[in-house]
Amino acid sequence: MEILETVFVRNSLVVAFAVVGVTIWFSYLIADKLTNGRIHGSAIAIALGLLAAYFGGKATGGSTGVADLTLLGGIGLMGGGMMRDFAIVATAFGVKLSELKKAGIAGVISIFAGVIVSFVIGAAVAVVYGYTDPVAITTIGAGAVTYIVGPVTGSALGASSDVIALSVAAGLIKSILVMIGTPMIAKTIGLNNPQSAMVFGGLMGTTSGVAAGLAATDPKLVPYGAMTATFYTGVGCLLGPSILFIIVDAIM
Amino acid sequence: MIVYGVALLSACLILGMLIGEVLGIALGVQANVGGVGIAMLFLVLASNSEKFKSMVDGVSGTGIQFWSAMYIPIVVAMAARQNVVAAFEGGMLAVWAGVLAVTASFALVPVISRIGRPKADTDQNEESS
């Protein structure tokens, strides 16, 4: 057992490659045999990943899902921000500039519309739940933008730590829902071409959610959605503690 | 050489991230503004330019294609390291805020997709309606 642990820990990233490989193989098998290909294999793999993250988090009390288990620490590196961004940028290889230009204006509008709509809804839910303090309302609204915008806004405004935790939770729920919901809703919302993918990325904004949601829908759309999504958190951090807070403060 | 493609990809990411950080500081924001998106633009420009041909064609290009293909496995690992427990410990307020924000954003996709779309693209409009 000790030898096993030593080898696994020393080669953590390699272990992660193997574990993820088996997970994906298994997911594609299920997608093929049990759903007849109706559900995309990668959608199942992502759902399994989230499920594993839940149990990993429950078992260890840590904050990075299965990566907190000693034997699976490499998942943390493989699925971390550095590798994610590296692979996202690589997906842009082969993208045509003309496709990007076609959705230019709509893409920019979608980023601002996405931040504002999510913020307003998050803030409204906070009000419904009895919050009257403009700082708390703004922080929770910012959490509905993304789980990064929430704490950035909260700490800029001096929100209490439980409100910040709540804003992170709202952002995480959003991110998970986008991962799971996108393949289900893709047809209904016309998510089948580069332009709508760019608008989708701008509206959703959560890089992890968009990255996983599009991967499970149609990998060809990934670079377009990811391109706009990466501007979203920046815009959110810009608007949250400034204009949006001023507006909330004026209303309350 | 495969490593030329990988190096080009790395250079694009680092350059994009640097610009994203500078943008963040310039805007007074504690976040990287669009670093990945800018990096993607660099890669698109490089792969369409004559100057970088030797770094994106043939074997060099497979160095980039490999990482592009590793995207889904990396996303699966990313899903497995999310703080799913914290998401559900936020209680109903967090759930409602998340669910309603996602629903409204989904509903806006077809609406905003129509903006700025040339009339010649009506076939796509019909597809999406």
Helices (H), chain B: 2-26, 35-47, 53-56, 58-69, 71-80, 84-89, 91-113, 122-128
Which tens digit of pLDDT belongs to each residue from A19-59? Answer: 999 999 999 898 888 877 677 787 788 888 888 988 998 89
Whether residues B62 and B124 share a domain: the answer is: no
| Res. A106 pLDDT band, cuts 50 70 90 | confident
Q: Where in chain A are the domains?
A: 2-79, 97-251
Cross-chain Cβ contact B116/A104 below 8 Å: yes
**pLDDT for B30 beyond 90:** no
The answer to whether the CB of A240 falls within 8 A of the CB of A152 is yes
The span from the CA of B5 to the CA of B11, in Å, is 10
**pLDDT for B40 beyond 90:** no
B26 touches chain A (CB under 8 A): no
Rounded to the nearest angstrom, the minimum Cα separation between B1 and chain A is 17
Q: Which residues constitute the domain of residue B38?
A: 1-82
Whether residues B19 and B56 share a domain: the answer is: yes
Report chain B's mean pLDDT, rounded to a whole number: 81
Q: Is the pTM of this model over 0.95?
A: no
Chain B, 52-111: which have a CB under 8 Å from a chain A CB? Answer: 56, 61, 64-68, 70-91, 93-102, 104-110
Which tens digit of pLDDT belongs to each residue from A46-94? Answer: 888 888 988 998 899 888 888 999 889 999 999 888 898 898 888 888 7
The span from the CA of A201 to the CA of A216, in Å, is 14
Whether residues B92 and B118 share a domain: the answer is: yes
Whether residues B30 and B55 share a domain: the answer is: yes
Whether residues B18 and B38 share a domain: the answer is: yes
Whether residues B3 and B41 share a domain: the answer is: yes
The span from the CA of A198 to the CA of A47, in Å, is 24
Rounded to the nearest angstrom, the minimum Cα separation between B2 and chain A is 14
The span from the CA of A166 to the CA of A123, in Å, is 12
Q: Which residues of A touch B80 (CB under 8 A)?
A: 20, 49-50, 52-53, 56, 65-67, 72, 75, 79
Which tens digit of pLDDT belongs to each residue from B101-116? Answer: 989 988 888 888 887 6
Q: Which residues of B touch A173 (CB under 8 A)?
A: 87-88, 90, 94-95, 97-99
Buried b (16+ CB within 10 A) or exposed e, A79-94: bbeebbbbbbbbbbbb
| Averaged pLDDT, A130-152 | 87
Residue B118: what pLDDT?
57
In the numeric block, the tokens 């904050």 are attached to A63
Whether residues B61 and B91 share a domain: the answer is: no
DSSP, res A69: S
- Residue (of B92, B9, B59) closest to A223 by Cα position: B9
Residue B125: what pLDDT?
46
Which residue would you say has higher pLDDT here, A238 or B97? Answer: B97
**pLDDT for A8 beyond 50:** yes
Which residue would you say has higher pLDDT here, B22 or A236? Answer: B22
Whether residues B33 and B70 share a domain: the answer is: yes
**pLDDT for B15 beyond 70:** yes
Which tens digit of pLDDT belongs to each residue from A183-228? Answer: 888 888 888 888 888 889 999 988 888 888 888 888 888 888 888 8
Q: Which two tokens stand for residue B85?
A: 């427990």
The span from the CA of B41 to the CA of B12, in Å, is 9
Q: Which residues of B touch A75 (CB under 8 A)?
A: 77, 80-81
Whether residues B10 and B35 share a domain: the answer is: yes
Cross-chain Cβ contact B40/A89 below 8 Å: yes
Whether residues B73 and B87 share a domain: the answer is: no
Q: Count of domains in chain B?
A: 2
Which tens digit of pLDDT belongs to each residue from B79-92? Answer: 888 887 877 776 88
* pLDDT above 70 coverage of chain B, percent: 86
- Note the ipTM here: 0.83
Q: Which residues of A touch B60 (CB under 8 A)?
A: none
